[in-house]
Structure 1
Amino acid sequence: MEYLPGGETGGAGAWSPTASAPAVADEDWGEALDELDALDAADYQALMDEVATVLGEMHGQDRRGLPAEKLEDGLKGAALSLGRASLGPDEVVTVQDEELTGALEAVGRLQTRLGAIGFRLAQQAAARGLHQESGMTLVDWLRVRCPWLSSRDAAQVMSVVTASEAPAVAQIGEAVASGDVPLHRAATVARTMTRLQESLDPEQQESYTRIATAAAGRPEVSDKDLTTVCHRLLEDLLHEKAPGERERAAIALRGVSSRKVAPGLTRFTIDAPDGAAATLSGVLTSQLAAPAPDEATQEPDPRTATQRRFDALLAVVNRGIAHPGAPPSTARATVILTIPFDPERGLPSGPATTADGGYVPPRQASELACSADITPVWMAADGEPLALGRTTRYASSAQWKALVARDRGCSYPGCSALPQWCDSHHVDWWSRGGRTDVDRMTLLCGRHHTVVHQHELSASVDGGTVTWHV
């Protein structure tokens, strides 16, 4: 018999008689198939493994011993199988309710398994330092290599990878890699354990991680309930500490987090130690948060209590960031709004954006432009450069703001470092006669500033676009 790799016309799994091998009678095939059907699952798997070994030897190698080929073949096979499962609009409407529900559940399981494979690969890439070779964070590296991956998903991968580096917390990474826990739930556990790490000994870390990981792996525990479990671990930690240790633990657990809850609305969550909490409470209960009737109409204050507390907190923040006359180095702490400008009408031509890409409606932008050190930068189509030539080496405060408005952060390809972590870099090096002009400068984070100088990379600036030649 001869094996033809191509089906009935040479496809996969086709057997064809040749001149050197006699044909097999139909009844012989029937007896062979009957014997095959009689095998139990273990014997059947053993037979298939033996066949695979023989086929591998026919090709001069044992494919089972080559992980790279196993990975490649498995992913190709999965892609082909998923292609078979794809249905068009006319086909999917014929699927019955029960089968439709079952298919959705199966897709969920597949997504978890695929996420597990992706996490294992990303974890190994991080261990090898592949992202560091290009001077990137793991999040940026993943986003470049996997453009379909959202920044949030990439950050979740990094959270679990980073937390799993501690032996006592490694079990959460293993749970993701095995497909027992979805990535987004594991990230909740990982962030919690990272926060608690300084306040726990290794044995406690392992115990807390085991509790949270077990909860994350239970389908009946919702994401909200999992967050509650993680909060309970924090509360348990603080209750178990002696008074002095409790205070130190609370300071270590301080933090602020934010998340989008709806278009145009961001929720901030603050975990403050008692001393800082007293300060914040003082602001929120001060005269700034008191009801203020309209002086003209004497109508009651229409704001709710929570709105008044927000206004009080923002008033204190705005006072704190007002620093007229500060030296140029403090420009990194200012808020810069980029507002498109129509020179023909002499008016703004659209909404403003912050340095990190946040959207600010036109009316709010006009209000913010008049307060504290929030600086409006009016931009034409290609921007207006500020030139100082060779009179000074370092960018002025005005130039820095122009660079922030144009580059919005590190200009190196794939990097997402914010402006406050960047330096102004002369495209034509200062030591080689470069000018301190906005159209000949760009922003680079410290990591990529080093990369550019080490490899003598060049860039070109065309209007508002910086292009690196890497």
Structure 2
Amino acid sequence: MHELATCSSLEADAANVPQGAFRTSTDSNQVDIIEHTFACAEAVEELPMIDQLTRPVLGRLATLEADVADIAAAPVHLLSVAERREALLRLTRLCDQIAAARLRVMAAGDDVAAVDGHHGIASWLAARTRADRARLARETRLAQTLDRRWPLLGAGFADGAVNLDQAHVLVAALDALPGDLPADTVELAETHLVAQAARFGPTDLKRLGRRVLDVVAPQIGEDHERRALEVEEARARQAATLFTRRVGDGTTVVNIRLADTLADRLLTCLNAFTSPRQATGQPGEKVPHYRKLGSAFGALIETLDPHRLPLHGGDATTVIVTIDHQALLTGLGAADVGATGRISASEARRLACTANLIPAVLGTASEVLDLGRTARLFTRAQRKALAVRDRTCRAEGCTIPAPWCEARHRDSWSRAGPTDLANGVLYCSWHHHRAHDPGYTRTTMPNGDTRFHRRE
């Protein structure tokens, strides 16, 4: 409005100049006025054109908001299956197109943030919309990259041919291309990946993006992939972390970041403990897979061979549990586990079957009655013999195969039960816990199986 007012004033001033001044005056001030007047007139002609381009945006947004409100209030449950299917697809495409339009505005939004004293549009928008600032920052970087570097991808995003998730993946793939590639090769790569977005989702596009040079420039693709993988593997090794946090309820939260290859190996090991699909909770309880994996992780730790671990303080990693003699015999009471805390006596008796755990048994005056040795554990040869004999978990009706089971004394080692085949039995992790659970009784069947029964 200020520019319009200024131009109007100059037009009025020019109107007051005598007619002859435009033809005969050589006065420099009048020449300046004439030139400025013509420039202002051109600006006045351009302003309505700019207004025609920009003013409909807000008007169309108002119409769009009203239409969306109508759709949200519509009785969608009355739509047929085919209509709901079509509505979902069209709404999803529309959301992606709106996201593309929003990112275009964000790419040009630095001055919007500056007016209110924010250092970036992501910060400004997070404060106004209460949205996640980190997500908005990622989207801002995406918007600026599309605007400055990848016009074809940006056009596909705006047209709805590429969705937001795909755009993130494709930009990452294109940005990772070597900086010394010819411009025509880069353009071919962008064109190819945008075309693949019509067929593949983000996960597949990430894989295709890594190999795009194999398609558009095979002569350099293999070497680029090798270098990219070496960099990725080095970063993965450097990023490996493990954090633990005691919750205070007997559990610890473990947060691990590993290379994908190591994570795959870990999951393969854990899946060996969770398959076949054997219940790991109470009978009839449906246990979520994440809980099965948690139990499997514990079983994996307990079955590690301590003799194959690096020496720690001159010996393979060993845990010493201090327990009262009476508690060891009855399974009632508690035991100390080094400086880490206390466990129940029944848990200590269970761990004594499989872990490299040394029980320090105390008498009534806390004198050490016995410092046990790990010779109480079944040897590898005995484990193999038990596997041949038992073949599966010996709990009645359990079919967990022997390689996934743990060896246990029928007559507990704490009660002087011998470590031999006659006194040995294989239990899966679930039934091994039940064998040490005072809430269950055990009965040995004529065929050697064990029947568990909950105490009333």
What's the TM-score once normalised by structure 2's chain length? 0.37
Larger proportion of helix: 2
The structure that has the greater radius of gyration is 2
What's the TM-score once normalised by structure 1's chain length? 0.36
